Structures are given as C-alpha cells and as structure tokens.
C-alpha cells in the first residue's frame, strides 16, 4: 500500500488557512498580485509552516515556535510609540523616515520632505502595478516557506526607486512598527530598486512594544543595478515577546558594492533570512551581523549567498553573544555556480557563550560547482577567555567591566564593517546598552 503520510494541520496552520479564506477578497493588489497569493496559498496548504524536518528550518522549528496565528493587524489610529524609540536610537544619523505601521505604509507618520530628486517613494501596490521593469516576488528566496506566507498576506509597504547615478543626501530608514494593545500579525513587503550607478544607505528597522506577543513576517526585495553602491542595515529592536521572520532577497548587478548588516537584540523568536544573488561580474559584497541574546531569546540568521557570476568577492562575518538560556542559530550557505569562476568567498561565524545554559548552533556550508575559486568558512563557539579576563582584572578592572570590555571588543570588530559612521556609533551604543542590562 502506498500511503502518503500527511501531517494534520496545527491550530496555527488552520487559523492561517481560515484567515486567508476570509481575507483573500479584500487583500490589496491587482490580478497579478492575487495570482501570486493564490499560488503561495496552495504551497502553504500543502506544506504548512516550516518545521524541523525541513533542512533549512531544522534549528528554528516555526511549526513548534508559532503555537498560534494572530489575527491580521488593523491600521493604527495614533502615532506608535515604537517609532519614537527607534528614531531615538538613530538620532545621530537623521535619516529620512518611511514608517510602515502594522504592515502598511503610513505616509502621515513618515518624513514629509521626501523631495530628494533622486528618490521616488510609492505605496507598494501602486509601485508594483506601475513598474513594468519589475516583477514582484521573483527574486532570491522566492521559494522559501516564510516568504510564501508573506506573499499570501502582504498588506502593504513601499516601492522605493533610487534613480540612475543618484546619491540621496540622507540615509533612508524604513521603520517597521507594530502598534496595538492586543497581539496581531503584520505582513509588510517592500521593494527597493537601486538603478545603475546610484548610491544608497538603507536602514530597515523592526520595533514594537514589550510584553505583547505580536507577529511579524516581513519581506524586502532589493534590486541593485550595475556599478551601484548599497549599504543595507537591518536593526531588530522588537518587543520582548515578539515573533518575527524577515526575508531579504537581493539581486546584485555587475561591478557593484553591496554591504549588508543585521543587528538583532530584540524579540522572543527572530529569524533573519538573507538571500543574496551576485548576478553580475566584478561585484564586492560584505554581509555581516551581530546578535545579542539573553533570557530565552531565539535568534536565527540564515544566509544563502549565490555566486552566479564570475569575479565576485564576498565576505560574511557574523557574531553572536548569548546569555541566559538563549539559543542562537547561524546557517550560512555559499553557492558557487559552474560559470562563476574566480569567485572569492569567505565566511566566518563566531559565538560567544556567556552562560552554561545558552546554546549556539553554527552551520556553514559551501556548494561549489566551479573549479577556479577561493572559498572558505570557519565557525567557533566558546566562552570568554579566562586568561584575558585575569589580565584585565589584575590591572584593577572589575570582573563585570572586564567582561564588558571583552564582549564589546568581540562585537565591535564586526560593527566596524558598517561604512556609515553615525549608524556604526548608534549600533555600538545599542550594544553598550545591552551590556549594561547584564546582571
């Protein structure tokens, strides 16, 4: 007998199916978008939430971690406090703010003066309907289960275009904020197209109130043209009970420079998925991140870097600091396609365990199909070096301060990669603040 065993849907999965059935008629977008949603729904209906038997989700079992599915968040009726919190973190940067509140573009809480001639900002579905050169949802990561869930429910966001050879005067900050007294789920999606030769510093942040178990499933599609230069910095400052999965799909053209940085200290369960495809020759990429965990936090950084063109260089460096009973996950896969000769890719991930009860899972992978490449990876996990601690303490520095100095040094090495000085300082300060909360 050929019996295919199909798992019974969890209550969260059932709820998501019901939510979609109820909302499909009112979700925004044209026929193309509706078809994308239907396709994503079919895949979800068949596969459900990703779980530990799915290799990419082995260490972050979303089916187990997401016990219930919250209802779709409605629009906020007043300016969310979380916007104030996150903008204060970036007060030294003064970026141009685009607020995405409860999964919808909120122009009323965004900076009014978006008059930079090199930048156009549109609501996501207006952008998608009016950009014949761009097809929504076709970038790297499009087959991922969480990205598919975002496609089912995406309620809004922005479409941002940086015109050819333009350099906006200020960094642009897309702030995703949850606002509300009761938990709900939000599904923002944004698209950023950086035309050839343009320069952009893009900050993406996530924040919300502590103690509310709101859910975020976000996606950002990033298209970087030839000779463009992009710095993308993602800041995870979610509330203490939040569950968030964020997917980035970036396609990078030729002779471009792309730097991506992911800083995460907030949230109960967070997964940052970074899919990057180097599609043009001669590009340099640097992808890095710092995660700071305590209590029972679970933070996952998953990367898939595809070298699909020759002569590209990529550097990946991730650091995780774990306290309490937290669990940190790093999965990094570098794929070098057959024709991507002369690829130079190096990946390093290091975990610093501050507690006996913390757990770090590091999984670096290389899949190389070209024969003339330089690729390498390394992974370490360990506690603070007692010899270093003794050296500092023997000079009169207290145990706590010695630890803080060593942890700060561990983190700063990676934060230093950020090109923008103001953002670098803001994140160093955020890391210091985190250190200050250690018992």
Provide, rounded to whole angstroms, the least separation between the CB of residue 407 and another protein. Answer: 10
* From 117, 386, 436, 439, residue interacting with another protein (rule: CB under 8 A): 386
Residue 31 touches another protein, criterion: CB under 8 A:
no
**d(C-alpha 220, C-alpha 173), whole Å:** 13
Question: 369: Cβ–Cβ under 8 A, 6 or more apart, which residues?
Answer: 335, 336, 337, 338, 340
Contact 242, 209 (CB under 8 A): no
At 55 the three-state DSSP class reads helix
**H, E, C per residue of 32-52:** HHHHHHHHHHHHHHHHCCCCC
Burial class (CB in 10 A: 0-12, 13-18, 19+), 252: buried
- Which lies closer to another protein via its Cβ, residue 391 or residue 429? 391
Q: Kindly determine how many residues on this chain lie close enough to bind another protein according to the rule CB under 8 A.
A: 22
The stretch near another protein (CB under 8 A) out of 11-19, 125-133, 345-353, 396-404 is 396-404
Residue 409 touches another protein, criterion: CB under 8 A:
yes
- Which lies closer to another protein via its Cβ, residue 134 or residue 410? 410
Residue 396 touches another protein, criterion: CB under 8 A:
yes
Provide, rounded to whole angstroms, the least separation between the CB of residue 312 and another protein. Answer: 29
Tokens at 69, concatenated: 């599915």
The stretch near another protein (CB under 8 A) out of 115-123, 175-183, 249-257, 393-401 is 393-401
Comparing CA positions, the residue from 352, 337, 329 lying closest to residue 406 is 352
Torsion sign, CA atoms 66, 57, 153, 127: positive
The stretch near another protein (CB under 8 A) out of 117-125, 137-145, 158-166, 404-412 is 404-412
Residue 412 touches another protein, criterion: CB under 8 A:
yes
Which H or E run includes 425?
A: helix 421-436
Torsion sign, CA atoms 211, 91, 220, 106: positive
The stretch near another protein (CB under 8 A) out of 27-35, 45-53, 285-293, 387-395 is 387-395
The alpha carbons of the chain give a radius of gyration, in whole angstroms, of: 21
Question: 153: Cβ–Cβ under 8 A, 6 or more apart, which residues?
Answer: 19, 20, 23, 27, 72, 185, 187, 217
Residue 413 touches another protein, criterion: CB under 8 A:
yes
Residue 380 touches another protein, criterion: CB under 8 A:
no
Comparing CA positions, the residue from 115, 86, 114 lying closest to residue 234 is 86
The stretch near another protein (CB under 8 A) out of 154-162, 178-186, 390-398, 422-430 is 390-398
* From 23, 34, 379, 397, residue interacting with another protein (rule: CB under 8 A): 397
**d(C-alpha 156, C-alpha 107), whole Å:** 12
Residue 405 touches another protein, criterion: CB under 8 A:
yes
Provide, rounded to whole angstroms, the least separation between the CB of residue 411 and another protein. Answer: 9
- Which lies closer to another protein via its Cβ, residue 390 or residue 429? 390
β-pair type (215-224, 185-186): parallel
Residue 395 touches another protein, criterion: CB under 8 A:
yes
* From 241, 392, 419, 432, residue interacting with another protein (rule: CB under 8 A): 392
Looking at residues 259 to 298 of the shown chain, list those that interact with another protein (rule: CB under 8 A): none
Provide, rounded to whole angstroms, the least separation between the CB of residue 317 and another protein. Answer: 13
* From 401, 421, 433, 437, residue interacting with another protein (rule: CB under 8 A): 401
- Which lies closer to another protein via its Cβ, residue 34 or residue 384? 384
**d(C-alpha 42, C-alpha 62), whole Å:** 19
Residue 410 touches another protein, criterion: CB under 8 A:
yes
* From 108, 394, 436, 439, residue interacting with another protein (rule: CB under 8 A): 394
Residue reference for tokens 């190096």: 346
- Which lies closer to another protein via its Cβ, residue 123 or residue 412? 412
Mark out the alpha helices in 121-215 (DSSP H runs).
Answer: 124-129, 145-153
- Which lies closer to another protein via its Cβ, residue 88 or residue 398? 398
Residue 387 touches another protein, criterion: CB under 8 A:
yes
Provide, rounded to whole angstroms, the least separation between the CB of residue 394 and another protein. Answer: 5
Tokens at 101, concatenated: 């509140």
Residue 388 touches another protein, criterion: CB under 8 A:
yes
Residue numbers at the binding site for another protein (CB under 8 A): 386-388, 390-399, 401-402, 405-406, 408-410, 412-413
């Amino acid at each position: 007998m050929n019996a295919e065993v199909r798992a019974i849907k969890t209550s969260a999965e059932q709820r998501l199916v019901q939510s979609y059935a109820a909302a499909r008629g009112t979700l925004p977008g044209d026929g193309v978008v509706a078809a994308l949603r239907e396709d994503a729904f079919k895949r979800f209906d068949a596969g459900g939430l990703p779980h530990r038997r799915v290799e990419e989700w082995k260490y972050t079992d979303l089916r187990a971690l997401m016990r219930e599915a919250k209802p779709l968040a409605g629009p906020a009726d007043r300016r969310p406090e979380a916007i104030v919190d996150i903008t204060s973190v970036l007060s030294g940067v003064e970026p141009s703010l685009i607020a995405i509140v409860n999964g919808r573009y909120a122009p009323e809480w965004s900076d009014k003066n978006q008059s930079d001639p090199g930048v156009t900002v549109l609501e996501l579905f207006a952008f998608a309907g009016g950009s014949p050169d761009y097809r929504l949802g076709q970038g790297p990561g499009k087959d991922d289960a969480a990205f598919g869930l975002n496609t089912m429910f995406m309620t809004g966001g922005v479409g941002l275009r940086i015109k050819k050879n333009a350099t906006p005067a200020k960094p642009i900050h897309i702030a995703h904020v949850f606002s509300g007294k009761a938990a709900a789920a939000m599904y923002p999606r944004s698209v950023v197209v950086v035309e050839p030769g343009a320069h952009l510093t893009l900050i993406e942040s996530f924040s919300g109130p502590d103690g509310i178990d709101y859910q975020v499933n976000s996606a950002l599609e990033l298209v970087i043209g030839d000779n463009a230069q992009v710095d993308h910095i993602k800041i995870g400052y979610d509330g203490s009970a939040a569950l968030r999965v964020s997917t980035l799909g970036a396609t990078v053209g030729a002779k471009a420079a792309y730097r991506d940085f992911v800083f995460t200290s907030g949230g109960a369960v967070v997964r940052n998925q970074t899919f990057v495809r180097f599609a043009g020759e001669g590009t340099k990429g640097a992808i890095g991140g710092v995660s700071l965990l305590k209590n029972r936090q679970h933070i996952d950084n998953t990367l898939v870097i595809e070298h699909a063109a020759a002569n590209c260089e990529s550097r990946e460096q991730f650091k995780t600091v774990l306290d309490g009973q937290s669990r940190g996950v790093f999965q990094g896969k570098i794929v070098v396609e057959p024709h991507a000769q002369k690829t130079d890719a190096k990946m390093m991930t290091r975990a610093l365990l501050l507690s006996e009860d913390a757990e770090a899972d590091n999984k670096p992978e290389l899949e190389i199909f070209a024969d003339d490449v330089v690729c390498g990876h390394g992974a370490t996990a360990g506690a603070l070096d007692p010899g270093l601690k003794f050296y500092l303490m023997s000079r009169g520095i207290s145990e706590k301060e010695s630890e803080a100095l060593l942890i700060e040094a561990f983190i700063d090495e990676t934060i230093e990669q950020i090109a923008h000085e103001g953002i670098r300082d803001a994140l160093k300060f955020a890391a210091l603040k985190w250190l200050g909360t250690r018992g």
